[in-house]
Structures are given as C-alpha cells and as structure tokens.
Amino acid sequence: MDDSIIMNNNDDDDDNNTIEHSDEIVSDIISLIHSTTHSSYVICSQLSSKLISYLSQIHMNDNQWHDLEKAVERFDQSIDHPDLRRFRQLIETISICSNDCEERNYTLGRDANTLFESICQLQELLQSHVNLHCTLLSKLIEQNDIQLHLIDVMNLTGMNVGNQIHGILCDIVHLLCQINRTFSVTNVIDHPIVSNCIRIIQTSINSICSTEIFSGDNAKPTVIFALRLLTDLLLTNESFPVHVYGQLSNCVFLKSIFDLIENSGEDNELILTAVKFILSFNLRFDYPHENPIMLTLLAVNEQISCRELIERLILLFNRSVDPIECKTTNSIIKFFSDLFGDQATTSDALLYDSDRRLIVEIISRELSDRSITDEATTTYLSLLELILRSQSITSETCTRIDELQTSFRAHLYAENCLKQNRFIINEILRQHCWLSTNDMPFYL
C-alpha cells in the first residue's frame, strides 16, 4: 500500500479526534455556564464563544493558569466586590425612598419609578446569590448600618407603595433570610413586617376572591411571597409578639387561607405555598384542642369543604414527601395526627371513609417497606393507633389486615424492635383484637 495513503488516513483520524475533543470541551464549557447561571443555552453558547476568543488572544503557561484561579478567589473575597457595592447602593436608595415616603405620608409619586426599579434589581441580585448558595452578602447583612437600611426597606410594607411592591419586598426579606439564617430572628420576627404580611395576604385574597381571577396588580405573586416569608419565620420556632400570634391564629385569617386553597383552581404553586404555610403553623401546637388550625377547620366546615387541602395532603403522604422538610417532625403525619387527636371530631367532619382507608393503606405500605429499626416507623404506628381508636376503621372496612398483621408480627418477633413500637403495637392489638393472630407474641 502506498505510504502516502496511510499517512493521509492517519491525518484524517487525528483531525477527527481533534474535532471530537474540541466539541467535548466546548460542550463542557457551555454546560458549566448553564448549570451555574441557569441561562438559555443560546446565551451560554455566546458567552463561551467570547470567553474562548479572549483566551485565544493571550498566551498562558501552566503557572499562570494557577495564578488565575487564585485571582478568582481574591475577587470573590474582596471587600470591594461589585455585588457588595451594588447591594449597598440599592438598599441606600430604597432607604431614602422609604424615609421620604414616611415623611410625606402619601404615595411616592415621582419616586415610584426609582423605588420600583431599585427593589426589582435588589430582588434579582439576592435571588442570584440564593440560587448559587453564595454567602458573600451574609457578613454585610450583619453590619449595623446595613441593618438600619434594611429596617427602612421592611418599613415600606406598611406604606402606600402598591400591592406589587409589597409582594416584592416580602420576597426580598425572604431571600435575605435564606442568605443569613440569623436575620429572621434578629431583625424580622419582631418587626411590623409580620403584621403587614398578614394584612397584605388578606387584602390580596379579598381582591382575588372578589374578581374570581387574579387581579391586574399581581395579587397572586404578592400572596405567594408573603406566605413564604411567614413560613420562614414560623419554621424558626422562635416566639412571635403576642399581637402577631393573635393575628395568625385569627379564624378569619385562617379561613381566608383555606378559601385560597380551595378556590385556586389548578394553580399548584399558589396552593402548595398555602399548604406549606398551614403545615408550618400547625407544627407550633402540641394539643389539637388548643390548635387554632383544627378549631378553624371545624368551625368553617359547613362553609368550606377543604377537599383540596385534604387531597393534597394525602397525595403528599402517599409520595412520602414532606414539603416542610422539618428535621425532627413529619409535618404531614403531624397534621393527620392532630385531625384524629381530638376524639376524632375534626377527622369526622373533614374526612371521608375512603380517605381513612387510603391513609391506613399508605401506613401499611410504609411499615412493610421500612426497616424495623427505622425510627420513622414510630410516627406511622402512632398515627395508625389514633385512626383505629376513632373506630372509623373496622375488620369489615380495613383492606390491609394481612399486611398489617405481617408487619406487627415482624416487629414483635424482632429482638431489635424499638421499645416504643412494641408498646404501640401491643396497645393496638389489645384494643382491636381483629388485628391479632394466635402466633403473635404479646409482651412488652
């Protein structure tokens, strides 16, 4: 064979390998930019092209590449970082508008555009830092002069600046709490913004209900932002001022939230945000008969069916999804336990027999799928005991007798069965003999 032909073939292979390698590098660069910025692939492609073009114009050796990495670190840690400067400029501008509005005590007028543009830019800046899990702003937020400006920002929620701005302000404070976890406790929970959030939610819901559609002043995002902020504060487990606790527990306010859940059509974001608020608030109460959520559900039962709420909770329960992600308590199980925990009065009013059967079926599956030493099984067994105690499930209506008996037997025979689980199972068998079998060992 001609040597020139062999050489040409080798050159073609090298060219193909080079092209494939280049394609892989560019694809990786574009993917990295996209995963970081969440921008469209068109923008990521243009950015990568500009970046490669710039790098091709400079000649770098290996040591200089290492120096560049250190330069990036210095840039990120600089006290004169552009994002730090921008953050300070924006909150100072908003603070001036806030104080100006407070002094004049009427709508901002010519300052309205400045305020709106500034808070939108601040919201975008904070959201980008939260998306990237960046803590660059955290220490700055703790500075006294910055906190004074942020108080002015929060004060705007009580001024006549419009429903849309109220919503964005609530989101800004929510994002600040995400960046600096102590900010909610040190600056927000005692601030009038909490009461303002409650008022903003009620006003916006009234607007939604009166028009039967979301009004032009962005009532929907305003409600979502305000509910998210309240949920943040509830999950701190810190005490609220007495008057705020009274506002949160007010039957009229809670009824408006239940109304929102039932009448939001298929708006999943709005419904799930309201459900998360209810679940987070419900975690605050140990006794169902003192729980304003349970008391309100019972009081408004003839006016609101609450089917959307119940069906959403059962769906989440079936998927083993806790939207609150509380480390110590499953908020869904806690809610159902409270429904059945007041002599079943609330559960009788809200749940259908089919709901109870479905909940028992889910518990049965969880007990079968989980390890005997899994501490989460205790909460499932406790809920099952409450449901059975209500006498709403009997041998005739229970569709999972065999599965429950198998799970009980496995726990009782296991040497490593949790003591609390063994006690609950024995209590269930003592009260409901139709679940027991002759080969079950009854001992504590």
Can you count the helices (H) and strands (E) in the chain?
Answer: 22, 0
- The per-residue pLDDT of the chain, averaged, comes to 85
pTM for this one?
0.82
pLDDT value at residue 37: 74
Confidence of residue 79 (pLDDT cuts 50, 70, 90): low
- Per-residue model confidence (pLDDT) at position 39: 72
Mean pLDDT of the region 395-409:
88
In the predicted model, is pLDDT for residue 389 greater than 90?
A: no
Q: Where are the domains of the chain?
A: 19-77, 82-235
- Mean pLDDT over 26-32 rounds to 81
Percentage of the residues of the chain whose pLDDT score is greater than 90: 53
316-337 in b/e form (b: 16+ CB < 10 A) is bbeeeebbbeeeeebbbbbbbb
Return the pLDDT at 337: 94
Give yes or no for a contact between 127 and 73, defined as CB atoms under 8 angstroms apart: no
What tokens were used for 441?
Answer: 């060992």
Which own/partner pairs from 395-402 qualify as long-range (CB within 8 Å, at least 24 positions apart)?
Answer: 395/434, 395/435, 397/353, 397/357, 398/357, 398/360, 399/357, 399/360, 399/361, 400/360, 400/361, 400/364, 401/434, 401/435
Residue spans of alpha helices (H) in 136-267: 138-141, 144-155, 163-179, 183, 193-211, 219-234, 242-249, 251-262
pLDDT reported for residue 444: 43
DSSP-based three-state secondary structure for 314 = helix
